[in-house]
Structure 1
Amino acid sequence: MKTKRATISLVILLYSVAVPFLEINNTHVFNPDWTPHAKIHEVWQLITNSSIGILCLWLVWVKNELRTSIVLSMLVTGGVLIAYCIQDVYGGSMKYLDDSEKAILGINIGVLGFGISFIFLILIFYRLEHQKNKHSIKLDY
Structure 2
Amino acid sequence: MEPTETHIVGRLLLSSALVGYAVVTLRADLGETHATNPRWLRHARFHVVWQSLTNAAIILLGLVLIWWPGPMLRPRLYLAGAFGAIILGTFFVTTLTRSLFGGGLRDAEGEPPLRLDLGPATTTFDANVVIFTILSIILLAGVVTITL
Gap change, CA 1:101 and 1:92, over 3 Å in 2: farther
Q: Deviations over 1:23-57 (max 9, x none)?
A: 22220001111101111110011000000010000
SS in 1 for 2:32: coil
- Per-residue deviation, 1:86: 1.0
Which of the numbers 59, 64, 81 marks the counterpart of 1:58?
64
Q: Are 1:73 and 2:91 matched, yes or no? A: no
- Per-residue deviation, 1:80: 0.9
Greater alpha carbon shift after TM alignment, 10-19 vs 33-42: 10-19
Does the 8 Å contact 2:33/2:109 carry over to 1? no
- Per-residue deviation, 1:112: 1.1
Which of the numbers 5, 22, 29 marks the counterpart of 2:11?
5
Q: List aligned pairs for 1:18-57, cutoff 5 A.
A: 18-57=24-63
Which of the numbers 88, 95, 104 marks the counterpart of 2:106?
95
Q: Distance in 2 between matches of 1:126 and 1:3?
A: 10
Does the 8 Å contact 1:16/1:51 carry over to 2? no
Which segments of structure 1 move beyond 3 Å, counting only runs of 4 or more? 97-100, 126-129
Q: How many residues were matched structurally? A: 130
Q: TM-score, normalised by structure 1?
A: 0.81
Greater alpha carbon shift after TM alignment, 22-31 vs 98-107: 98-107
Greater alpha carbon shift after TM alignment, 44-53 vs 107-116: 107-116
Matched residue, 1:17: 23
Unmatched runs of 5 consecutive residues or more in structure 1: 132-141
Greater alpha carbon shift after TM alignment, 116-125 vs 76-85: 116-125
- Per-residue deviation, 1:121: 2.3
Q: How much is the aligned-residue C-alpha RMSD, in angstroms?
A: 2.0
